[in-house]
Each structure stands twice: as C-alpha cells, then as structure tokens.
Amino acid sequence: HLSQRLLCVADLIEKGARLADIGSDHAYLPAYLALKGQIEFGIAGEVVKGPYENAKQEIKKEGLEDKVQARLADGLNAIELADQINVITICGMGGTLICDILEAGKDKLVDHPQLILQPNVGEENVRRWLLANNYQITAEYIMEEDGHIYEVIAASYTDEKQTLTPEALQFGPYLLQKKNAAFQAKWQKEIAKLETILKELNKANQVPVAKKQALEAKIAQIGSVLNG
Ligand code: SAM
C-alpha cells in the first residue's frame, strides 16, 4: 500500500542497503523494503510520539522486529555510526526542514551515505545543500499523485564538487532534460500563481515598478523554460 511517491523512492534503494528513514510516520517505506528482502536493516526515525508508536506497531504487525527498528529521535539522532547506515531517506517534508535535519546531523554523514530526498516544496534549497556538501545529484523524478506534485532527488557523495546553473538548481538538472507532464503542470501552476500576484500589484497603489518588472521577468523565465 505504498504511495507512488514512496514507491519511486523505494525503487532507488539498492539490494542489501542499510536504510534510515527519517520522519517515517508509519514506517511504511522501511517495512515495505524489508518485506521485499531489499534491505538488510532499517531504522524508522520519528521525532513525534504518535507517529513513532504507529511505526512500532507497523513493524510488529509485519513481524519485522529483527530487521527494522523504530526510534524516537530528532532527525539524524536516530542513527548511530555503528548501524552502518548507507542510505538515508527523508520524505514528505519541506525542503528547508530536510536541509535543517541534514545540517544538524552532519556527524552522521561522515561515512557518506546515499541520500534520497522527497521535498514537498523548496526543492531548490535541497539541491543547494547537496552541492554545498559534496553530494552529486544522480537521479530526479517528478510525479503527480492525488492532485499534488512531488519531486524525488537522489544524491551520492563525490570528491569533486558538482556545479549547476541557476536554472538547473531551480528546475532540477534531470527534470529539465525531460520536462514531463508533471513538470509542465508544476511550473504552469507557478506561473498562474505569479500572475495572480502581479494582477494584485497592478491594482494596488504605490507599488515600485521594479517589483512588478521582477515578477514579470520571473514569469517570462519560467515560460521560456517550459517552451524551450
Ligand atoms: N516520510 C513519510 C512519508 O513521506 O509519507 C511521512 C511524512 S510526514 C508528512 C512527516 C513526518 O516527519 C511526520 O511524521 C513528522 O513527525 C516527522 N518529522 C518532522 N520533523 C522531524 C525530525 N526533525 N526528525 C524526525 N522526524 C521528523
């Protein structure tokens, strides 16, 4: 009963992985992968008691106690270096929160685990954090499910820092290559949102011209990416 969004994340995890899923709610992702025999070990990290209890219950219900552990902890504090985690997933949160969790937990990243992140918003922040911390984006997906658009970003540690153009940071280097239907829908919605703001500004008094022009430029830029 995994959502398409989490299935996409699951498909990126290699056989034999030692996974920490941070913000795991019902532990659906690690439980699914453990049942499939895809992971060797899993942690379901949760900072909130209720979701942590749910995760514990799910693990018990599926008889996975020897393979998946629910841990009540803030962010990467759920991980001990002795766990030898080599994949961290953080899904279903804002990009800024994802970056805060990674930044605060840098001491748990010393063995350079693969990162698979699914920000609901603020993807650009996530890409910036990855590049600044020697992570190279290796795959990206965008999909629409239940009226929401989701992005998945996978990254691996690299000795050589990756650089991306401002456009690739904003839209996603791999997503830009395909510009699939979900990508089109996401950025059409963004244009519509900006146009609504522009209309309001045009109605209001004393709005600096530069502000309107900046907005117009932003709309034009997205338009040119969509039509390019
Ligand atoms: N990862 C699941 C998914 O994608 O379906 C659950 C997403 S749910 C919207 C976000 C979860 O992250 C919540 O259960 C919340 O308690 C948890 N969370 C938020 N901040 C966290 C943190 N700093 N450390 C661990 N868990 C956190």
Hey, what are 200's tokens? 């309001």
- Any residues with Cβ below 6 Å from ligand 1, and which? 6, 22-25, 45-48, 51, 74-75, 91-93, 101
For residue 15, the enclosing domain spans 4-165
- Alpha-helical runs (H) found in 47-94: 49-61
Question: In this structure, are 109 and 197 located in the same domain?
Answer: no
Question: In this structure, are 218 and 113 located in the same domain?
Answer: no
Predicted pLDDT of residue 224: 97
Question: In this structure, are 29 and 88 located in the same domain?
Answer: yes
Predicted pLDDT of residue 147: 94
Q: What is the CATH number of the domain that holds 80?
A: 3.40.50.150
Question: In this structure, are 70 and 141 located in the same domain?
Answer: yes
pLDDT in tens, 61-115: 999 999 999 999 999 999 999 999 999 999 999 999 999 999 999 999 999 999 9
Predicted complex ipTM? 0.99
Residue 175 is assigned to a structural domain of this protein: no
Question: In this structure, are 17 and 94 located in the same domain?
Answer: yes
Residue nearest (by alpha carbon) to ligand 1 atom 3: 92
Question: In this structure, are 26 and 106 located in the same domain?
Answer: yes
Q: How far is it, in rounded angstroms, from Cα 116 to Cα 138?
A: 10
Atom of ligand 1 nearest to the CA of 24: 1
pLDDT in tens, 141-150: 999 999 999 9
Question: In this structure, are 103 and 196 located in the same domain?
Answer: no
